[in-house]
Amino acid sequence: MNNPAAPSGMAPGTPPVLQLRGIGKFFPGVIANKDVDLDVWPGEIHALLGENGAGKSTLMNVVTGIYQPEEGEIILDGYGQTFTAPQEAIRAGIGMVHQHFKLVQAFSVAENIHLGWDEAPRLASPAVMEARTREISERFGFPVDPAARVADLSAGEQQRVEILRVLARRARLLIMDEPTAVLTPEETGELFRALRAFRAQGNAVIIISHKLDEVMEISDRVSILRGGRKVGTFRTADCNPTMLAATMVGRDIVRRNMRARPEGAAPIAPQPIMQLRHVSVRDDRGVETLRDVSLDLHGGEILGIAGVAGNGQRELTHVLTGLMARTSGEIMLDGSVVERADPALFAHAGIGHIPEDRLRSALAPSLSITTNMALREYAEPPIGRHGLYDAAAAGMLARDIADLADVTIPDFAMPIRNLSGGNQQRLVARREIRIASRVLVAAYPARGLDIGAIATMLGYLTDLRDQGVAVVFISEDLEDLLNVSDRIGVMFHGRMMDVIDAENADIATIGMLMGGREPTDLQPGGTQ
Amino acid sequence: MATRAFQRLPTAPAGRILALRLVAIVVSLCIIAGVLALSGHSPVMLAELILRSTLGSRFGLEDLALFMCPLLLTGAAVTVCGTIGLWNIGAEGQFYAGAIAATGVALGLHGPVLVMLPLMTIAGILGGMAWITVPTLARAYAGVNEIITTLLLNFIASLLTYYLTTGPWRDRISGAQVSTRRLSVSIPEMWGIVHWGFPVAIVIVVGLALVLSRTRWGYEIRIGGANPEAARYAGIPVRLRIISVMLLSGGLAGLAGMFEVAGTVHRLQGGMANNFGYLGIVVAVLARGSCLNVIPAALLMALILDSGIVMQTQQLSASVILAITGLILFMIAIGDELAHYRPVATTPAKGKAS
């Protein structure tokens, strides 16, 4: 499976455009890639699939010369290559379009195309550059306005400029990182048409994605990475989204039942604390990122949210914590409708939030540990009284939180960014658990923690549940989800596909729902 | 790879910063002495003269206090604004606006000092606030960069002052150029020519330090400045806080203008802001975001200005003082950066340097 013969219709002896053999790339304490083999043939669109942190981006950074691999070789058209700099990869015909465009916003399209290009004419007047750009744009079939300023272009148009930049440098292998993440459906359609045209000329494309249906639509073959290693390469025609989702997240799952309540634990409350009724959210581009989601959160229950990242989990967390306004539907707290998205109001109602990007959005890195630990309780006694801020009380609180989180802190006055990422994360988790008297929304709380710390984190969640708090636990890890959740909701394309009882849930069913299969299509105890 | 002899710390300890700043000042003084010696002045004589006429004499000390008073307030204005992550470059303009408003009250109304002084104070503060209102609203509601808007308004305020002092408000009694007549109301003097505005300015700076570290509002400002996203996450109304901080900043600079008019100059004069607004930025940079540090920073700046007067009596150009200010700031910036580095014990390479 790892070394298929050249696709049919190709002259015998044609080498692959790109061959990777045993690529390994290590960072301190992390194996980003190990033993990765990959073949990309001329005239093929090859999808690279995997969860966050599966090693896709690292692998592509190796191919484009941004990183140098510690192990393995890169073979282009049958010849071994080493890239010591990205420029060498570009000269060898490998072009990458990053998820976050690397364009100069204030420059025109023509200027961006010619920037850092050794074939740019020495005397480059705007007219000359625009004429050249027009010619390039027609040659490759990506229409752009050469004189337009990049800042004035839509995301789709900017992406076209990025692609042209790469193609103008004679790329034969185009690598695209999450190309559709910023596009509207129409723009996605245009992109795919252009990629097919590029393929028809005998070139190759590697497309990184975790949108399964797009992978199904555009790619000829799919390679799946998990934990830095390649799981396998499949012909897309032989795949379906369900099987891809299962392969992506699937592993040997150890089921441990953490649902059992200890003596004296709070039972699941019959009345929901919080309810979502047909809640939808649209982003600035008008794309619906959360579609018609209805949910009940009961005290004393853990609701797990499964799904491939980017299917509406972020929007769901933000709606549940008042950070994002809904476009339609209703949110009810204790039976009464909440009119406004107001994070202060939600926090005050006892809703804690461990956000996905906690180090960026839940902390002020340059301020002291004490100051950061007071973020949720500064307005309430003992810290906040009569508009004052009691630094001594805040210090006591910080000490309490650090003790509970089991983080040793030499000096509470030092900036919190001096702590390790893992410790910052534990402190945030503990701080949020403190205020979560009714609901805790925890987005990927175990991400980036080691195994022992993950167990502790899951223990925090079950402790909260036993105290009668409603816990929303968003994770990519099916094992953790199945072990602690009472119910599991599965998200796909912003929709809550189904909410199933965790006790009887099987991975195959969840995998199918994650791949977008309608629950009505599934047989009970469905097989794959 | 050679072993690194220095390691950069993410935060520099305060003691190191202080020590290196002293070194920086000494180095700057040596450079200045060298240049003066080359241009035919005796640095030793000059130094002696400067010390005697600034710190060593009553007049010098009085001048020092008068220089410090506006610098404390403009420095605090820039520092407060910086706490929420914004730069008020317009203290100079707000200074003029406060001075104009206070002068307007003094020229237009008549009453006992006990009524007039509070009225002028309020007018001065409101004048400064009014001058920063447009940049504030533009920043809070449209995200317009406050550095540009506050800066540009400085020129308008300065020209407005020239217009008033040569036009409608010009001195018709003594015929002084580019000036109003002497105001009938003034802040009482407490020590020689030092007026009560000086201790009030110190109290205000200390009070602000307390407000920023000991109130909810101050806490919210600090969080908003350090990470606006975290502030939003915590439910802090960042926009309202930006508005209140910027208005406070403008009010402080306006108060500085009122003090200068009613306490030191006793007239509105063209050019009277004397760069106090811009030097407030220097003070704030030296203070590194702490209100209490504004006091020593303003003292240092006042010493430099005071020395400048002495130097002018020795046929040195007035621009020398700007050059000296620049040099000291430059050296201090280098010192602050060096304070981040710690020598690492160069152990014989056991592992590979990463």
Which domain CATH number covers A339? Answer: 3.40.50.300
Query: A179, A209, A222: which is closest to A46 by C-alpha?
Result: A222
Q: Look at B11 and A414 and tell me if their CB atoms are within 8 Å.
A: yes
Which pLDDT belongs to residue A240? Answer: 83
Query: B200, B244, B232, B194: which is closest to B80 by C-alpha?
Result: B244
Which pLDDT belongs to residue A183? Answer: 74
Three-state DSSP state, A505: coil
Which pLDDT belongs to residue A527? Answer: 41
A384-385 and B341-343 beta bridge pairing: unpaired
Query: B214, B222, B245: which is closest to B77 by C-alpha?
Result: B245
Q: Are residues A128 and A220 in the same domain?
A: yes
How far apart are the C-alpha atoms of A414 and A377, rounded to whole Å? Answer: 20
Q: Are residues A132 and A182 in the same domain?
A: yes
Across A18-32, A266-280, A316-330, A348-362, least confident range? A18-32
Residue A253: band (very low, low, confident or very high) from pLDDT cuts 50, 70, 90: low
**Closest in A342, A343, A387 to B216, CB measured:** A387
Give the DSSP H/E element, type plus range, for residue A226. strand A221-226
Find the farthest-apart pair of alpha carbons in chain A and give their distance in angstroms, rounded.
82
> Is A495 domain-assigned?
yes
Q: Are residues A280 and A236 in the same domain?
A: no
Query: Which whole number is the average pLDDT over B69-93?
Result: 96
Q: Look at B235 and A387 and tell me if their CB atoms are within 8 Å.
A: no
B189-191 and B194-195 beta bridge pairing: antiparallel
Mean pLDDT across chain A = 85
> How far does CA A226 lie from the centroid of its chain?
14
Query: Which whole number is the average pLDDT over A490-514?
Result: 86
Instruction: Identify from A356, A366, A432, A441 which residue to disrupt to test chain B contact, counting B C-beta atoms within 10 A and taking the largest count.
Output: A366
How far apart are the C-alpha atoms of B153 and B133, rounded to whole Å? Answer: 11
> Edge-to-edge strand order for the sheet containing A272-282?
A288-298, A272-282, A328-333, A336-337
Q: Are residues A165 and A314 in the same domain?
A: no
How far apart are the C-alpha atoms of B97 and B106, rounded to whole Å? Answer: 14
- Enter the tokens of residue A174: 């185009």
Instruction: Identify from A338, A357, A361, A412 which residue to disrupt to test chain B contact, counting B C-beta atoms within 10 A and taking the largest count.
Output: A361
> Is A363 domain-assigned?
no
Task: Please give the interface size between A and B, counted as residue pairs whose CB atoms are below 8 Å apart.
Answer: 76
Examine the fold and report which residue of A215, A249, A283 is the final residue of a domain before the chain moves on. Answer: A249
Domain that holds residue A289: 272-350+436-521
Contact (Cβ atoms closer than 8 angstroms) between residue B90 and residue B129 = no
Q: Are residues A153 and A225 in the same domain?
A: yes
Which pLDDT belongs to residue B169? Answer: 93
Query: A431, A415, A434: which is closest to A362 by C-alpha?
Result: A431
Q: Look at A364 and B233 and tell me if their CB atoms are within 8 Å.
A: no
Residue A525: band (very low, low, confident or very high) from pLDDT cuts 50, 70, 90: very low
Q: Are residues A183 and A311 in the same domain?
A: no
Angle at A247 between CA A289 and CA A231, to 5 degrees: 125
Query: Which whole number is the average pLDDT over B191-205?
Result: 94
Query: Which whole number is the average pLDDT over A458-480?
Result: 90
How does A163-195 read in b/e, with b if 16+ C-beta sit within 10 Å? bbbbbbbebbbbbbbbbbebbeeebbebbbebb
Distance from CA of B212 to the nearest CA of A (A): 9
**Closest in B227, B232, B237 to A363, CB measured:** B227
Angle at B239 between CA B235 and CA B245, to 5 degrees: 110
Q: Are residues A224 and A303 in the same domain?
A: no
Distance from CA of B281 to the nearest CA of A (A): 21
Instruction: Identify from B8, B219, B232, B240 which residue to disrupt to test chain A contact, counting A C-beta atoms within 10 A and taking the largest count.
Output: B219
Three-state DSSP state, A177: strand
Q: Are residues A463 and A328 in the same domain?
A: yes
Which pLDDT belongs to residue B339? Answer: 87
pLDDT > 50? residue A511: yes
Q: Look at A343 and B354 and tell me if their CB atoms are within 8 Å.
A: no
Give the DSSP H/E element, type plus range, for residue A344. helix A343-348
Highest mean pLDDT among A423-427, A485-489, B42-46: A485-489
pLDDT > 90? residue B259: yes
Give B217's contacts in chain A (Cβ within 8 Å): 387
Q: What is the pLDDT of residues B290-348, one digit of tens each?
A: 999 999 999 999 998 888 888 888 888 878 888 888 898 899 989 988 888 887 655 44
Query: B290, B324, B144, B303: which is closest to B212 by C-alpha?
Result: B290
**The dihedral of CA A373, A377, A382, A387: what is its sign?**
positive
Contact (Cβ atoms closer than 8 angstroms) between residue B253 and residue B91 = yes
> Is A359 domain-assigned?
no
How far apart are the C-alpha atoms of B83 and B217, rounded to whole Å? Answer: 12
Q: What is the 3-state secondary structure (H, E, C) of B57-119?
A: CHHHHHHHHHHHHHHHHHHHHHHHHHHCCCCCCCHHHHHHHHHHHHHHHHHHCCCCHHHHHHH
Distance from CA of A372 to the nearest CA of B (A): 8
What phi and psi values does residue B206 have, to the nearest 5 degrees? Answer: -65, -40
Which pLDDT belongs to residue B351? Answer: 40
In chain A, what percentage of residues exceed pLDDT 70?
93
Q: Look at B234 and A342 and tell me if their CB atoms are within 8 Å.
A: no
A30-40 and A388-389 beta bridge pairing: unpaired
Q: What distances in angstroms separate CA A94 from CA A62, A88, A181, A200, A202, one per listed residue?
A: 11, 9, 22, 17, 14
pLDDT > 90? residue B158: yes
pLDDT > 60? residue B350: no
How far apart are the C-alpha atoms of A210 and A247, rounded to whole Å? Answer: 12
Interface of B with A (CB under 8 A): 10-11, 213-220, 222-223, 226-227, 229-237, 354
Token look-up 């809904």 returns: A326
The number of helices, as runs of H, and strands, as runs of E, in chain A is 17, 22
Query: Which whole number is the average pLDDT over B206-219?
Result: 95
Residue A252: band (very low, low, confident or very high) from pLDDT cuts 50, 70, 90: low
Angle at A47 between CA A43 and CA A51, to 5 degrees: 170
> Edge-to-edge strand order for the sheet containing A487-492?
A351-354, A439-443, A470-474, A302-306, A487-492, A495-501
- Enter the tokens of residue B299: 């003292």
pLDDT > 70? residue B349: no
What single string gives the DSSP state of each residue in A12-43? Answer: TTPPPSEEEEEEEEEETTEEEEEEEEEEE-TT
Q: What is the pLDDT of residues A341-358, one digit of tens each?
A: 888 889 888 999 999 887
What's chain B's Rg over C-alpha atoms?
23
What's chain A's Rg over C-alpha atoms?
26
Q: Look at A391 and B232 and tell me if their CB atoms are within 8 Å.
A: no
Instruction: Identify from B213, B216, B239 which residue to disrupt to test chain A contact, counting A C-beta atoms within 10 A and taking the largest count.
Output: B216
Query: B211, A401, B241: which is closest to B232 by C-alpha?
Result: B241
Long-range contacts, stretch B27-30, CB < 8 angstroms, 24+ apart: B27/B331, B28/B324, B28/B327, B28/B328, B28/B331
Q: What is the pLDDT of residues B96-147, one digit of tens each?
A: 999 999 999 999 999 999 999 999 999 999 999 999 999 999 999 999 999 9
Query: Which whole number is the average pLDDT over B39-43?
Result: 85
Q: Look at B226 and A347 and tell me if their CB atoms are within 8 Å.
A: no
Q: Are residues A285 and A212 in the same domain?
A: no
Q: Look at A353 and B213 and tell me if their CB atoms are within 8 Å.
A: no
> Is A3 domain-assigned?
no
Q: Are residues A214 and A284 in the same domain?
A: no
pLDDT > 90? residue B40: no
> Is A180 domain-assigned?
yes
Token look-up 């030296």 returns: B286
Q: Are residues A94 and A194 in the same domain?
A: yes
Residue in A with minimal Cα distance to B83: A367
Which pLDDT belongs to residue A1? Answer: 41
Q: What is the pLDDT of residues A156-196, one digit of tens each?
A: 888 889 888 888 888 899 999 888 877 777 788 888 988 89
Total domain count, chain A = 2
A475 contacts: CB under 8 Å, gap ≥ 6: A304, A305, A306, A444, A445, A446, A481
Residue in A with minimal Cα distance to B11: A415
Q: Look at A376 and B234 and tell me if their CB atoms are within 8 Å.
A: yes
The number of helices, as runs of H, and strands, as runs of E, in chain B is 13, 4
Q: Are residues A213 and A283 in the same domain?
A: no
Residue B354: band (very low, low, confident or very high) from pLDDT cuts 50, 70, 90: very low
In this prediction the ipTM stands at 0.84
